[in-house]
Amino acid sequence: MNLVKFLSRRFFHSIFVLLGLSIVIFIIARVMPGDPARVAVGARAEDWVVDKLREQMHLNETLPVQYGYWLSDALQGDFGISLVTRRSVADDIKEFFPASLELALFSLIITASMGIGLGMLSARHKDKLVDNVVRVFSYLGVVTPSFVFAILFMLLFGFVLNWLPTLGRLSEGITRPPTITGFMTVDSLLAGDLEAFADAGKHLILPALALAMGSMAQEARITRASMCENLTKDYIAAGRALGIPERTITGRFLLKPSLIATISIMGLDFAGGLSNAFLVELIFVWPGLSRYGMNAILRKDLNAISAVILVLGVVFIVVNITVDLIVSKLDPRIGLRSSRSD
Amino acid sequence: MAEQARESILVLTDQQLKELQRQSGRENLGRAWFKFSRNPLSIIGGVTTLIVVLLAIFAPYVTPYPEHATIPFTDFANAGNPPNSKNLFGTDMIGRDIFSRSIYGFRFSLTMGLVVLSLVVPTGVLLGLIAGYFQGTRIDTLIMRITDIFLAVPPLILALAIASVLEPNLFHSMVAVSLMWWPWYTRLVYGLASAQRNEFYVSSAEITGASTPHILFREILPNCLSPVFTKMSLDMGWVIIIGASLSFVGLGIQPPKPGLGTMVASGTNYLPDQWWISLFPALAIVVLVLGFNLLGDGLRDLFAAEEV
């Protein structure tokens, strides 16, 4: 399958998935007890105001018609007003999404480097002490919920050792660089403010690490397993017999095929990490999309909930397509195929 | 020649045949146990799980202060005690023994896991079987597209959203997680069933006029079960984590009931000074999930089920 055909097919498929997701979200939003119009204006508003608003929000129509209105608004980027911030949900998302993305990408870097690194280390020293330590570590990493890691890191590095800041994105007293990309680290570099850059970086470490632990452990396990398997293959023995240096064998022959499984899982984990971010951002008071979504969930702010879930659905789909592209580059035999059921 | 062969088969009476089947079944079980028991991690997992389950079942008899977990209880004189000989894990800010409450917390976590799995496994497996057997038809498209929609968002997020619109309690959090979890089984069984449907034994059954339910449940299903069981064991852990996460944000088990996630959350207000209030329930979650994971991995090696 060539690239254009593959992308258009996946794009077409994604539209249906997102439409379906929007129906699910709409149903969740509408089965909730209570009158959205009443919730929007507050308990003290007079009845005629609520009636007027009901009319305006199309709440007197049938459900499919309501969905039609909701969808056409959503397609234009209008998700209504957030009950928590009293601002347009679209504006909120524009503000909070970069913070989450910065956290998620930073944690992806940790996951990829540490996970693959530990996996390689473990595979090279198979069944030795190092290997066993890494395996125990990765077991614990996989089974510990991210919010437990968040609390442990906060306690250890934040309070006991007092090495790193635990709240928010910047310390008090440091001026926030002008928002260009929304990534605090990139913005401060663009502004040439090295102090702010260092501070933003320090603030990133603990939440990103808490978020990365689970998938890092998973990556380490998978990399170890596939490297150990590939080490027994004939082409490795052939390479060694030809006198190719061990470094070249590991780096060029062994790593590439071994990373296919790792990268496939990493894509899933990256998206899963966005949902763990719901708890981690809450604990570290990280002003990101997930904390916004979490607050919306706790206060039943349905406009915001719907928008956050849809945005995450889009991210999930984009990540999946990207992973398939990378995997097909790593192993041309697999070609462009879909990781999904079709 | 063919006659002879058939006769040599026919000499077996039904009873002899059954005895042979029983024997080979016992041998398979013995071999499986041997393979399983050679891996120390699987044994640790199995033992941990067994201990946790027993502790949960006999919680009233093994905990020093069952009343701290079962009724609204306060003892302000002993509030916030660090771990000591009377309170192994210390006491929380209203004087309840955290050890007793953690053991009772196992009950809620295990209930959560069992109820969710007993809801999602039959649903997911049934849909996967049907979609897999009728692969390429409209039924397949319908089921798998709906499955894709649910798989398009990480389960925790939709579970949070669903739990948020319902009254927060254990039952509703189980409903929310179940609604999100069945697609994973559908996708797993779909892959297995669609591979099985082209096997000769399925076409033989079709030719001899076996009914569709017979083919689905008696022919294909038994060949899909081992990965499903393995996934169930691993999923017990994940469901428990998601349940604890829901409780942690206040959308699951409500205080004063001793949900593990609820207890961790209530302790975060007293960090870092009263660290034991959060830490021990958190460790309890880790031990619980670790047990199921080690067990599940042991089973996976046993069945060599790569798909899970």
Which pLDDT does position A336 carry in this prediction?
A: 62
How near does any CA of chain A get to the CA of B75, in Å?
Answer: 27
Residue B305 makes CB contacts below 8 A (sequence gap 6+) with B226, B227, B230
| CA atoms in the 13 A half-sphere facing the CB of A130 | 12
CB contact under 8 A, A317 and B285: no
**Residue A88, helix vs strand vs coil:** strand
Per-residue pLDDT tens digits for A216-233: 988 888 888 888 888 888
Which pLDDT does position A79 carry in this prediction?
A: 83
Q: Tell me, what's the ipTM?
A: 0.78
Q: Give the C-alpha separation, B260 to B272, whole Å.
A: 19
Q: Give the C-alpha separation, B193 to B132, whole Å.
A: 5
Query: Could you tell me the sign of the dihedral formed by the alpha carbons of A104, A109, A113, A114, in that order?
Result: negative
| CA atoms in the 13 A half-sphere facing the CB of B101 | 32
Mutate to test the interface with A, among B130, B139, B141, B165 (most CBs of A within 10 A): B165
Give the pLDDT band (50/70/90) at residue B126. very high
Amino acid, res. A102: E
CB contact under 8 A, A143 and B148: no
How near does any CA of chain A get to the CA of B205, in Å?
Answer: 26
* Long-range contacts of residues A103-106, Cβ cutoff 8 Å, at least 24 apart: A103/A204, A103/A207, A103/A208, A103/A211, A103/A277, A103/A281, A103/A286, A103/A288, A104/A211, A104/A270, A104/A273, A104/A274, A104/A277, A106/A204, A106/A208
Q: Give the C-alpha separation, A261 to A225, whole Å.
A: 10
**Residue A285, helix vs strand vs coil:** coil
pTM (two decimals): 0.82
Which pLDDT does position B305 carry in this prediction?
A: 45
Q: Give the C-alpha separation, B204 to B220, whole Å.
A: 12
Examine the pLDDT at B129 and tell me if it is beyond 90.
yes
Inter-CA distances, B203 with A18, B135, B191, B200, B241, Å: 38, 15, 18, 5, 42
- Among B192, B178, B170, B184, residue whose Cα is nearest residue B255: B170
Of B187, B250, B290, the CB nearest to A341: B187
**How close are the terminal C-alpha atoms of chain B, in Å?**
45
Per-residue pLDDT tens digits for B215-233: 999 889 988 888 888 888 8
Which chain B residues have any C-beta within 8 angstroms of a chain A C-beta?
Answer: 144-158, 160-162, 164-165, 187, 190-191, 237, 241, 244-245, 248-251, 264, 268, 271-272, 275, 278-279, 282, 285-286, 289-290, 293-294
Answer whether A183 touches B (CB < 8 Å).
Answer: no
Which pLDDT does position A342 carry in this prediction?
A: 36
Examine the pLDDT at B127 and tell me if it is beyond 90.
yes
Q: Give the C-alpha separation, A22 to A16, whole Å.
A: 10
Residues in chain A within 8 Å Cβ distance of B278: 151
CB contact under 8 A, B290 and A16: no
Which pLDDT does position B306 carry in this prediction?
A: 45
Amino acid, res. B39: N
Q: Give the C-alpha separation, B221 to B216, whole Å.
A: 6
- Among A269, A282, A257, residue whose Cα is nearest residue A332: A257
Q: What is the pLDDT averaged over residues B165-178? A: 87
Give the pLDDT band (50/70/90) at residue B283. very high
Residue of chain B whose alpha carbon sits nearest to that of A137:
B290
**How close are the terminal C-alpha atoms of chain A, in Å?**
14
Which pLDDT does position A22 carry in this prediction?
A: 87
Which pLDDT does position A34 carry in this prediction?
A: 65
Mutate to test the interface with B, among A275, A292, A298 (most CBs of B within 10 A): A275
* Long-range contacts of residues A30-38, Cβ cutoff 8 Å, at least 24 apart: A30/A63, A30/A66, A31/B165, A32/A300, A32/A302, A32/B165, A34/A300, A35/A59, A36/A302
Per-residue pLDDT tens digits for B44-103: 889 999 999 999 999 889 888 888 888 888 888 888 888 888 888 988 888 899 999 999
- Evaluate whether B219 touches B204 at the Cβ level (below 8 Å): no
How many interface pairs between A and B have CB atoms less than 8 angstroms apart?
130
- The whole-number mean pLDDT for each consecutive block of 10 residues of chain A, a chain of 342 residues, reads 80 86 82 69 77 78 84 84 81 88 90 90 85 86 88 84 80 75 80 81 89 89 86 86 86 81 80 79 87 83 84 85 82 59 36
- Among B70, B282, B247, B218, residue whose Cα is nearest residue A154: B282
Of B152, B155, B294, the CB nearest to A21: B152
Give the pLDDT band (50/70/90) at residue B4. low
Better pLDDT: B124 or A41 = B124
Of B268, B275, B293, the CB nearest to A143: B293
Which pLDDT does position A33 carry in this prediction?
A: 65
**Residue B97, helix vs strand vs coil:** strand
Q: What is the pLDDT averaged over residues B262-289? A: 88
Better pLDDT: B28 or A124 = A124
Which pLDDT does position B118 carry in this prediction?
A: 95
